[in-house]
Structure 1
């Protein structure tokens, strides 16, 4: 039940995130659907490949496909409340990151995999769809930008992996905490250490 809850939340959030990026890039309706689908389901597909599940497992999510189509259609037909990427895009992306990183960690943990696999599943499920979305849209992926992103997926994986949160309400609190931390990192431009080459420093 908990696993399915986070699956639904992540699917809706990342589908909306994909729609927003597609609309920002002025894609037609097919581009909106394609970008929304790869954002919502790309991370799970990459995770499944890594942990040894068949790719065909992706097609067993008929209900989630329906939910994604309905959400994307409504967002495309009534885009007034989705006009600002800076206001809503980061938020929906943060919700997807939080929900899917927790869902990926729970999925790997339910298979009895070690902590390293739980962390990898959390990161790939939480960030994979967004990376594919940004690459297809010709944008620098959020995970590689200076503001903190992937660290929050690792945090979710660690907490689930060490059984620090297991009940539904504890996991929901964890999800809200990851969303808050992600939005704070955007608002206040929190950064991980990074370096530029001498040539890049000269250019800037």
Structure 2
């Protein structure tokens, strides 16, 4: 075995005091407690092993474990895992995440399609718009708004439907797929005529 493999299998650093998880208290209980022939903890250790408020012991030896005399606090009654915000969104499932990724890819392709199609239209612009500086600036502005539209639609839909049902999010994303088709790319194509 190489020294590197020995290092990987060793437990060096476990005695670090900053990593203490409170096992010394458990060890002292284990030393004080003596198990009888049924495996139950002796009555002397009963007072040191109490349950936190709001918990109930079940199973073998549950009668020997004492309850804490403290009043149960509200956090323990509600449970530790209860969400802090009642209207907090539930995490998405695997299918929803995959569908969101596929739709994100479609929107990315739409952005690329608007760039390619819009740049291909620059050759045809003199036939569509008059040759003025205002027309060129307006075309450039409209082109970059069209390029940004799929990204804006996708991010706005995802952000604004965070607390909605997932079908609402996907309806809005599907509407964007239909509305934001890169028509210049679809009509002229990447190569043109």
Higher relative contact order structure (alpha carbons within 8 Å, sequence separation ≥ 6) = 1
Give the TM-score taking structure 1 as reference length. 0.25
> Which protein is richer in helix relative to its size?
1
Give the TM-score taking structure 2 as reference length. 0.26
Bigger radius of gyration? 2
